[in-house]
Chains A and B, each alone.
Chain A
Amino acid sequence: MFEPAQATARDKRTCIVAENISKTFSRRGSHTKPLLQGLDLRIAFGEIVGITGASGSGKTTLGDILLGLVRPEGGRIQWAGRDRTSLTRAELRDLRPKYQKIYQDPFRSFPPWLTIRETLTDVLAYHGLTRGPSDTERRLRRAAREVMVPEDLLDRSPGRLSGGEIQRLALARALLLEPFFLVADEPTSRLDPSVQALVARLIMRVAGERNMAVLFISHDAELLKVVCHRVFALEKGKLHARTAWRRT
């Protein structure tokens, strides 16, 4: 199994690399338009990179391409120092859970008919990351503590949680898999300013503590300046550097 240490040995500090990525998109009828045009991006372990841009500019598509959820028409993606297309099936199976996403709508991360505990238990079991019920329990408790959610909320169904609680639990769900890289796709746009600050600060803290790379997508340029080490605007298919307040 790949570990960040192995990855860093392969390629210094880089977690994920996108080179010369291009993607066209057809939404309105048969008309296709270029969405990403020769886009390059590198994100180091522990680094938070912010992406802003108009609605429909391709921010979510870029995140999905980095995660291997959408196939680009041109260019290549490197995961942990290796070209993604050169990975064997077994290597992909090991690496796949290390590339995670949280959504603008955190309810997308949880089936409404299961409690949070059931979903998180399933996630651990599916990926073979638990040594039994007591180990599962220990991991769930640690995950709840890490995202500052009371443990009793794990026994609730998603519909009985507030927007801030469910978003933090969606982050906990991703963290259970000990990811190298997280795409946070507008994770705070549904939240009031205080809960937004709480979730954003949490992502900053766990990225630092876990040395995790993050692509933080948001319309809020002020938020990105505070949260991210580097900020880019996605315009006409390319990334344009913007000012970030945080030091790399």
Chain B
Amino acid sequence: MKKRMLEVNDLTVRAPGPTGGKILVDGIDLVIRQGGLFTLIGETGSGKSIVAQALTGTLPEELSPSGRVCFDGVDILRLSAHERRSLWGRKLFLLPQEPERALDPTMKVAAQVEEIFKVLRYSSRRKAREETRRLFARLGLSASNEGRRYPCQLSGGMNQRVLFAMALASPANFIVADEPTKGLDPLLKRRVTDLLGELNRLGKTVFCITHDLLVARRLGGNLAVMFRTRIVEKGPAEIVLERPSHPYTQGLFQALPENGLHPIPARMLQEMQGV
């Protein structure tokens, strides 16, 4: 069995407040093995993005985490800001919700990918340019066309692919993708989902957050369902998605348009909090 790349024990995150603050994430336990693919689905506002921030050491200062987030044997929650920063790009790579926010608006996109080769892989300028051209071609972009443009001159889908090129260029083996398909049309959604699968096949460990059940199904791997700050169900994706055991997961399927567009009644949501 492959070694544990990430182990999360009893992760709890509180907002600031007079009596210890509201609990945003409540006692999460997760294990992700090297080369694995893990998807976190669940309720809007249940704390999925806060889990991603805790895993990547990017939690806002005002939030108070407790528990353990062991990445490659090191507890991220105990690291200083400087130590956490040294992991970014080298060991951890975050694909954020809005790709434009992760790209430098004043720099052409190919140059941003080349910079990763130069700074993080110590490549020569020529090698960095060649590798970038190769990566762009693989992702359906042209380094001499799209590559010479600024992020604001590219569509959201193209910027998304530039970020994937950066993820592939970086030596980081653990990729966290936070809602990577949000707002994309079905074709781009499928393409981005397949790109995540490809990152995984190339040996990267992938942790993906989504509220899209079709994306979760296509990705496969392991899956956890989050509801009201807690993980309520987890297991292999095909089993959880085919035979969901928690009423919240069952309710998500009932809410899909093809199943009648039935929202989970508020009364049931209240009752489920105690399940």
Q: Which of A163, A190, A225 contacts B257 (CB 8 A)?
A: A225
Residue contact B252 to A54, C-beta cutoff 8 Å? no
**Set of chain B residues within 8 Å of A124, measured between Cβ atoms:** none
Q: Does B61 contact A (CB under 8 A)?
A: no
**Set of chain A residues within 8 Å of B183, measured between Cβ atoms:** 104, 186, 189-190, 219
Chain B residues with a Cβ closer than 8 Å to the other chain, count: 34
B100 CB, min distance to chain A CBs, angstroms: 13
Given A28-B153, A194-B251: A53 touches B257 (CB 8 Å cut-off): no
- Quick one: which of B18-48 are within 8 Å of A by CB? 41-45
Given A28-B149, A192-B44: A197 touches B261 (CB 8 Å cut-off): yes
Residue contact B252 to A192, C-beta cutoff 8 Å? yes
Q: Which residue of chain B lies nearest to A29 when distances are taken between CB atoms in the complex?
A: B153
Given A28-B149, A191-B44: A219 touches B186 (CB 8 Å cut-off): yes
Residue contact B155 to A56, C-beta cutoff 8 Å? yes
CA distance A191 to B48 in the complex (A): 13
CA distance A221 to B45 in the complex (A): 25
CA distance A48 to B252 in the complex (A): 25
Given A219-B186, A226-B257: A197 touches B153 (CB 8 Å cut-off): no
Residue contact B257 to A194, C-beta cutoff 8 Å? no
B183 CB, min distance to chain A CBs, angstroms: 5
Q: Does A73 contact B (CB under 8 A)?
A: no
**Set of chain B residues within 8 Å of A220, measured between Cβ atoms:** 257
Residue contact B211 to A192, C-beta cutoff 8 Å? yes
Q: Does A143 contact B (CB under 8 A)?
A: no
Q: Does B156 contact A (CB under 8 A)?
A: yes
Q: Does B63 contact A (CB under 8 A)?
A: no
Residue contact B184 to A219, C-beta cutoff 8 Å? yes
Q: Which of B157, B179, B252 contacts A55 (CB 8 A)?
A: B157
Q: Which of B42, B149, B187, B257 contacts A54 (CB 8 A)?
A: B187
Q: Does B105 contact A (CB under 8 A)?
A: no
Given A28-B149, A55-B156, A56-B155: A190 touches B182 (CB 8 Å cut-off): yes
Given A163-B45, A192-B43, A192-B44: A197 touches B185 (CB 8 Å cut-off): no
**Set of chain B residues within 8 Å of A200, measured between Cβ atoms:** 257, 261
Given A192-B211, A193-B211: A223 touches B155 (CB 8 Å cut-off): no
Q: Which residue of chain B lies nearest to A195 when distances are taken between CB atoms in the complex?
A: B44
Interface string of A147-165 (1 = CB under 8 A from B): 0000000000000001110
CA distance A29 to B255 in the complex (A): 43
Q: Does A209 contact B (CB under 8 A)?
A: no
Q: Which B positions have Cβ atoms within 8 angstroms of A?
A: 41-45, 149, 153-157, 179, 182-189, 211, 213, 251-253, 255-258, 260-264
11 extra A-B contacts, CB within 8 A, seeds A54-B185, A193-B213, A197-B255: A28-B149, A28-B153, A53-B185, A55-B156, A56-B155, A164-B44, A192-B41, A219-B186, A222-B257, A226-B257, A226-B261
Q: Which A positions have Cβ atoms within 8 angstroms of B?
A: 27-29, 53-56, 104, 162-164, 186, 189-198, 200-201, 219-223, 225-227
6 A–B contacts from the bound complex (CB under 8 Å): A29-B153, A55-B156, A163-B45, A194-B264, A201-B261, A221-B186
Per CB-CB distance, the 10 closest pairs between chain A and chain B, nearest first, are: A162-B45, A198-B263, A197-B263, A222-B257, A197-B255, A193-B255, A163-B44, A194-B255, A192-B211, A223-B257
